[in-house]
């Protein structure tokens, strides 16, 4: 098995779980470097095709509750070019699509 920072085959669930693991580590340069490497391996292409609502909600939870210097969204004014902005929008859009599909499929 490859070291976590070398993996390129992350599922969204696995990526989120490992991000929380990094978040819980002791503050310092190793944690910051692990966070940077993990963000570089974010499977962004999977957000718009994810069909599990719980996974998308868990992703949004990570972006909202995590420290802004790690996986969290920065405060207003600093979000324009931050990687979390497009991910947050994609997660919201996919949740809306899933809601519309569920609405069509319920009697």
C-beta separation of 4 from 18 below 8 A? yes
pTM, rounded to two decimals: 0.83
The 3-class secondary structure across the chain, one letter per residue, is CCCHHHCCCCCHHHHHHHHHHHHCCCCCHHHHHHHHHHHHCCCHHHHHHCCCHHHHHHHHHHHHHCCCCCCCCCCCCCCCCCHHHHHHHHHHHHHHHHHHHHHHHCC
pLDDT of residue 53: 94
- From first to last of its 107 residues, the chain has per-residue pLDDT tens of 456 666 778 899 999 999 999 999 999 999 999 999 999 999 989 999 999 999 999 999 999 999 888 888 887 877 888 888 999 999 999 999 998 877 666 66
């Amino acid at each position: 098995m490859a070291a976590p920072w070398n993996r390129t085959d992350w599922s969204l669930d696995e990526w989120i779980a490992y991000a929380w693991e990094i978040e819980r580590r002791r503050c310092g340069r190793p944690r910051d470097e692990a966070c940077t490497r993990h963000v570089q391996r974010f499977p962004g292409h999977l957000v718009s095709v994810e069909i599990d609502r719980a996974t998308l909600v868990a992703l949004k939870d990570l972006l909202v509750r995590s420290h802004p210097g790690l996986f969290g969204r920065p405060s207003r004014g600093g979000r324009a070019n931050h990687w979390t902005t497009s991910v947050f929008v994609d997660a919201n859009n996919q949740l809306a699509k899933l809601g519309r599909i569920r609405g069509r499929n319920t009697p």
